[in-house]
């Protein structure tokens, strides 16, 4: 009896050990990285910084967002014409959906619309966010790249990388409101304090643009190849990445004055923030992910896949359980996206049925 | 393997950041940065391909040559062809051109309510087995190459260009790239077009090219080598392709057109599987300059003859 009690005590204490060994503040956030030239998604654990999953995609994933109900991660595979849905807490692929060339995509602030740029097809698509029904497809000038909204969700702004311009699109009429020149190869566009901040990649600055008419009101030096502006979670700071000078410039969120810059070799691109406030930055040209401490500007890097682009941090308290190899294969089932409700707009691409028939002969 | 991948990523990253990207920035072409980064793989794979072909083929040629090399000038011309071709200038042009065509083509398809397919969608098994998918793409592209090669011999205007390749009497592994520039462009458009049509993943494309190019270099090598009764049916050997380069095989009477897999010749009745036959090569009916002239002269003659063939002369 005594021996059994001792055993019970031993195993009971042993069961407590893992909990005792991990401080209560320890985290195991999951970091999702889209390897655009590797047709895969790396999933890293933030504590160990090790890759715990590698999810294959068809071709070329660039950007990702949470679904309107925020329950799933929606990854756009622009080359594969697919949306991949992932449970962000478990890194499991839940389903795939045929979708026309999703490059950059964002939900409107009211969550009702999903606007998607098709960089290589010169199209901007406006969808109903909940059903992903195509509402309008706009043929636009060369290389629609990134997009942003007004806070009231009335207007979307799209950079047109090949023609030095920014376009405003009325989300009620689905018609362009204005198109204005902002500088060579504009890339990211961000709404901030009533102004648009456009990364002018063919130059060395961020253009501060009046959203009413597209006029450039001032420019802020950020290093050659200025790409995108990312506000900190409290919006007190803005981080600007620059591809050519390979640096991040820190701007004051109120005055837009530069406060610091950190050299970060490798071509910094997208930025995500973890619950500790650290920046997770994809480095496009070296296949690495940088983790930057915003207090000191110090950084370290970890390897991911080729040309990492979009990045997302999912808060998580406990490490992901080990994974069997067979579980890494995603479900092969692809569901067609819903049909278009619009009558004047071309029906969106849905399925490869015609190809199946043609190639099946 | 991950160390090699890391080193490769570091090296390409360094080259891109310090050489290519500043150039793109200076030329106001930053919107082509991602394409240039992809092209860098082509150029490096091209160089790597030359190095591997040399490392594999040169010892074989020294070991059991079919014939001794007496026309060194002709071989040097072939080397020039190889470096011009594989340093990626032509693939770059084809890539830029095809990227634009692809955008227009896919845009048109989506307007028509279609989405371009991928082989993985047609055969879902491939989605979960990337190596199998890669093999499937190689097989489809190799099949396309077989038919392109047959067309090069079947049409008079195309043969006028392709004859440059066949005129070489001193065939070595360098001979693979001895082609008219126009012929190369057509080949790049053909190959790239099929790749886009079946949706070859861009990341796999350089590897597919590398494999096919290595097989082609080896098949041109000056080496008395066949792969045995079974192997000759599975892979194109130096023996198999040398027979294709024999004078009697020139023009529309060609045999052994396959690039990687002889099965196509087997299926379509164009295969010659006689082992132990290593005939001399060349195209005696063609102008001598195509065999022994310099690069520029061969290009000029090829173009003139092609125009003549189109004009019915």
* A192 within a domain of the structure (yes/no): yes
Instruction: Kindly report the CATH number assigned to the domain that includes residue A163.
Output: 2.130.10.10
Query: Which of A104, A121, A301, A336 is best to mutate for the B interface (most B CBs within 10 A)?
Result: A121
Q: Are A338 and A131 in contact (CB under 8 A)?
A: yes
pLDDT of B259 strictly over 50: yes
Beta pairing, strands A334-335 & A288-292: unpaired
pLDDT per residue as tens digits for the range A178-194? 999 999 999 999 999 99
CA atoms of A339 and A348, how far apart (whole Å): 7
B275-294, pLDDT tens digit by residue?
888 999 998 889 999 999 99
Among A136-145, B89-98, B230-239, the minimum mean pLDDT is found in: B89-98
A14 within some domain: no
Does A253 map to a domain?
A: yes
Q: Under 8 Å CB-to-CB from A145, ≥6 apart: which residues?
A: A103, A104, A117, A119, A158, A159, A160, A161, A186, A187, A188
Name every chain A residue with its beta carbon within 8 A of the beta carbon of B9: 286-288, 303, 306
**Is the CB of residue B119 less than 8 Å from the CB of residue B195?**
no
Number of domains in chain A: 1
The dihedral built from the CA positions of residue A219, A221, A224 and A229, taken in this order, carries a sign that is negative
3-state secondary structure of B276: coil
pLDDT at B77: 93
pLDDT band at A139 (very low <50, low <70, confident <90, very high): very high
Residues of B in contact with A123 (CB under 8 A): 107, 110
Domain contains A27: no
3-state class percentages of chain A: helix first, strand second, coil last, to nearest 5: 10, 45, 45
Is A202 close to B28, i.e. CB distance below 8 A?
yes
Asked whether residue A108 is assigned to any structural domain, the reply reads yes
ipTM of the shown complex = 0.76
**Does residue A136 fall inside a structural domain?**
yes
More confident residue, A208 or B109: A208
Distances A38 to A285, A322, A329 between C-alpha atoms, Å: 12, 23, 16
Chain B residues within 8 A of A350 when measuring between CB atoms: 113-115
The model's pLDDT over B65-87, given as tens digits with 9 standing for 90+, comes to 999 988 889 999 999 999 888 77
Interface touch B109/A349, C-beta < 8 Å: yes
Distances (CA, A) of A130 to A86, A107, A111, A258, A341: 16, 10, 8, 39, 13
Is the pLDDT confidence value at B111 over 80?
A: no
Instruction: Measure the CA–CA gap between B60 and B63, rounded to whole angstroms.
Output: 5
* Domain, as residue range, for A318: 35-331
- CB atoms B117 and A347 under 8 Å: no
Q: Measure B48 CA to nearest chain A CA, in Å.
A: 19
Residues of chain B above pLDDT 90, percent: 53
How far is the alpha carbon of A130 from chain B, nearest alpha carbon, in Å? 21
> Which pLDDT value is given to residue B121?
74
Cα distances (Å, whole numbers) of residue A7 to A3, A16, A282: 6, 14, 50
Q: Residue A158 domain-assigned? A: yes
**Cβ contact (<8 Å) for A352 and B114?**
yes
Cβ of residue A357 closer than 8 Å to a chain B Cβ: no
d(CA A178, CA A170): 9
Residue A10 lies in a domain: no
CB pairs under 8 A between A and B: 145
pLDDT above 90 (res B313) = no
């Amino acid at each position: 009896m005594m021996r059994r009690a001792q055993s019970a005590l031993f195993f009971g204490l042993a069961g407590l050990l893992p909990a005792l060994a991990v401080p209560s503040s320890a985290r195991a956030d999951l970091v999702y990285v889209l390897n655009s030239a590797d047709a895969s998604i790396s999933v890293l654990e933030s504590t160990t910084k090790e890759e715990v999953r590698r999810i294959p995609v068809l071709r070329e994933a660039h950007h990702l967002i949470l679904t309107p109900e925020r329950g799933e991660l929606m990854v756009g595979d622009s080359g594969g014409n697919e949306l991949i849905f992932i449970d962000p807490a478990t890194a499991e692929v839940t389903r795939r959906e045929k979708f026309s060339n999703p490059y950059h995509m964002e939900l409107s602030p009211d969550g009702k619309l999903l606007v998607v740029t098709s960089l290589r097809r010169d199209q901007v698509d406006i969808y109903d966010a909940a059903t992903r029904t195509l509402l309008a497809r706009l043929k636009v000038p060369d290389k629609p790249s990134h997009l942003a909204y007004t806070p009231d969700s009335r207007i979307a702004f799209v950079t047109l990388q090949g023609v030095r311009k920014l376009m405003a699109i009325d989300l009620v009429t689905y018609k362009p409101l204005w198109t204005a020149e902002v500088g060579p190869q504009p890339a990211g566009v961000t709404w901030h304090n009533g102004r648009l901040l456009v990364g002018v990649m063919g130059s060395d600055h961020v253009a501060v643009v009046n959203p009413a008419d597209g006029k450039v009101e001032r420019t802020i030096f950020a290093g050659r190849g200025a790409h995108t502006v990312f506000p900190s979670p409290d919006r007190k700071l803005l981080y600007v990445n620059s591809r050519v000078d390979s640096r991040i410039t820190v701007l004051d969120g109120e005055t837009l004055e530069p406060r610091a810059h950190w050299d970060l070799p490798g071509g910094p691109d997208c930025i995500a923030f973890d619950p500790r406030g650290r920046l997770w930055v994809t480095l496009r040209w070296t296949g690495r992910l940088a983790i930057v401490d915003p207090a000191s500007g110090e950084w370290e890097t970890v390897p991911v896949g080729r040309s990492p682009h979009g990045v997302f941090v999912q808060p998580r308290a406990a490490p992901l359980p080990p994974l069997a190899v067979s579980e890494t294969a995603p479900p092969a089932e692809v569901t067609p996206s819903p049909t278009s409700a619009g009558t004047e707009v071309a029906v969106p691409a849905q399925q490869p049925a015609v190809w199946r028939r043609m190639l099946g002969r | 393997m991950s160390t090699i991948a890391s080193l490769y990523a570091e090296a390409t990253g360094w080259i891109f950041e310090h050489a290519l990207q500043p150039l793109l920035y200076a030329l106001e072409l930053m919107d082509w940065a991602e394409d240039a980064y992809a092209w860098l793989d082509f150029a490096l794979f091209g160089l790597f391909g030359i190095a591997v072909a040399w490392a594999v083929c040169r010892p074989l040629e020294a070991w059991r040559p079919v014939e001794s090399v007496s026309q060194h000038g002709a071989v040097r011309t072939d080397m020039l062809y190889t470096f011009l071709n594989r340093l990626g200038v032509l693939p770059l042009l084809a890539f830029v051109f095809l990227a634009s065509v692809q955008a227009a083509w896919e845009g048109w398809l989506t307007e028509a309510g279609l989405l371009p397919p991928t082989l993985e969608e047609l055969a879902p098994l491939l989605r979960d087995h990337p190596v199998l998918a890669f093999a499937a793409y190689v097989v489809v592209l190799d099949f396309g190459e077989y038919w392109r090669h047959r067309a090069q011999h079947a049409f008079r205007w195309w043969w006028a260009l392709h004859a440059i390749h066949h005129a070489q009497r001193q065939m070595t592994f360098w001979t693979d790239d001895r082609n008219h520039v126009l012929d190369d462009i057509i080949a790049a458009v053909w190959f790239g077009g099929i790749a886009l049509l079946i949706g070859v993943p861009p990341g796999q494309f350089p590897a597919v090219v590398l494999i096919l190019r290595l097989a082609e270099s080896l098949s041109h090598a000056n080496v008395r080598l066949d792969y045995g009764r079974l192997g000759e049916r599975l892979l194109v050997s130096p023996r198999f392709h040398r027979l294709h380069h024999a004078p009697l095989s020139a023009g529309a009477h060609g045999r052994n057109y396959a690039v990687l897999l002889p099965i196509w010749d087997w299926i379509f009745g164009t295969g010659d599987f006689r082992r132990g036959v290593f005939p001399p090569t060349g195209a005696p009916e063609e102008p001598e300059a195509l065999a022994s002239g310099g690069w520029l002269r061969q290009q000029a003659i090829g173009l003139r003859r092609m125009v003549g063939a189109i004009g019915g002369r």
